[in-house]
Amino acid sequence: MQLAVSQDRDAPTSSRTSFPESISLSSHDLLMQAADPCPEPERERLHTQVILLNRRVAAGIASRYHQRGVDSEDLRQVAEMGLVKAVRRYQPDRGSGFLAYAVPTIRGEIRRYFRDNGWMVRPPRRIQELRSEVITTENDLVQELRRFPTVVETAVEMGLSTPELDEVHGARGCFRPASLDAPAREDASLPVGELIGESDDAYEQVENYESLTPLLAALEPRDRLILGLRFVDGCTQKEIGDRIGVSQMQVSRLLNQVLGRLREQLCAD
């Protein structure tokens, strides 16, 4: 959120290009060159450049779905398949942001894979869809509560009954187990667990940036100002209240309302 909110600050931004924007614009320029009447061999070469430029972006998106019952390497390959589809389908004459198109395409490919291939025992479709929502909600509540939520807390947050949530939790065992002790490759004895590297924050921010940018742009100016003061400038609620002429209690309520709307829109997406 900090990266996206900072774009609305008073300081001029024309001389600054963020990390996601740089990748997106470079990819767009390459795909403009690959458009008709570009010869096929040259088009394939340019497409390959775009794929290589964005491979780590795809890997960063895939990493968000780790430990959900599907092998990490399978997830990475599915994400790269989504990237290839995005490169081939992107129409540069209709926009200037490749990642704004590619990120949802990659995420959609991963979610279809979970839906169609991730289950050893296939539960009802509704349970499949709720399982992903439960994981997201529990992760959000862990950040908010600073502990793992109870079944009741998660159920209330999602508007489910506890028996429904128990059914979703029971479906977790239906996924194929993925072991970190498994060989990284068929011809190697080194386990996958020893090959896990550190997260690259810059690449992991790409999905957040692309998801939040249009939502933040649609906010009222005062809401954007409040978020900027709180999460970019680090102001206290009292300091924000003094700045915009309201009480600390009103600032708290406004923050909760804005963050709640953003959370709902992200979950709906």
Q: Which CATH number does the domain housing residue 227 bear?
A: 1.10.10.10
What letter represents residue 5's amino acid? V
Which residue segment(s) compose the domain that 265 sits in?
219-269
Q: Are 118 and 175 in contact (CB under 8 A)?
A: yes
Q: Model confidence at 11, in pLDDT bands (50, 70, 90)?
A: very low
More confident residue, 175 or 204: 204
Same domain, yes or no: 268 and 208 = no
**Co-location of 214 and 263 in the same domain:** no
Residues 10 and 66 in one domain: yes
Q: SS3 for 153?
A: helix
Q: What percentage of residues in the chain have a pLDDT greater than 70?
A: 70
Where b means 16+ CB within 10 Å and e means fewer, 15-28 reads eeebebbebbeebb
Residues 58 and 71 in one domain: yes
What is the pTM assigned to this prediction?
A: 0.46
d(CA 244, CA 84): 47
Q: Is residue 80 part of a domain?
A: yes
Domain presence at residue 140: no
For 208-263, the pLDDT digits (tens) are 777 778 888 888 999 989 998 998 889 999 999 999 999 999 999 999 998 888 88
Domain count, the chain: 2
- Kindly give the residue spans of alpha helices, DSSP state H, lying in 15-124: 19-34, 40-63, 72-89, 98-117
- Same structural domain for residues 211 and 229? no
- Classify residue 245: in a domain, yes or no: yes
**pLDDT reported for residue 36:** 82
**Residue 39 corresponds to which amino acid?**
P
Q: Is residue 122 part of a domain?
A: no
Query: From the CA atom positions of the chain, what is the Rg in Å?
Result: 21
- The per-residue pLDDT for 51 is 93
Judgement on whether residues 77 and 209 belong to the same structural domain of the protein: yes
Handedness of CA 39, 41, 46, 51 (dihedral sign): positive
For 102-144, the pLDDT digits (tens) are 888 898 888 788 766 655 555 566 766 677 788 778 878 887 8
Q: Can you list the alpha helix ranges (DSSP code H) found in the chain? A: 2-5, 19-34, 40-63, 72-89, 98-117, 125-145, 151-158, 162-170, 201-217, 221-227, 237-244, 248-268
Question: Are 207 and 256 found together in one domain?
Answer: no
d(CA 130, CA 126): 6
- Asked if residue 258 lies in contact with residue 227, where contact means CB atoms within 8 angstroms, the answer is yes
Quick check: is 68 in a domain? yes
Q: Where is average pLDDT lowest: 135-144, 149-158, 171-180, 247-256?
A: 171-180
Looking at the fold, whether 210 and 260 belong to one and the same domain comes out as no
246: which 2 tokens?
Answer: 């309201």
**C-beta atoms surrounding 29 within 10 Å:** 15
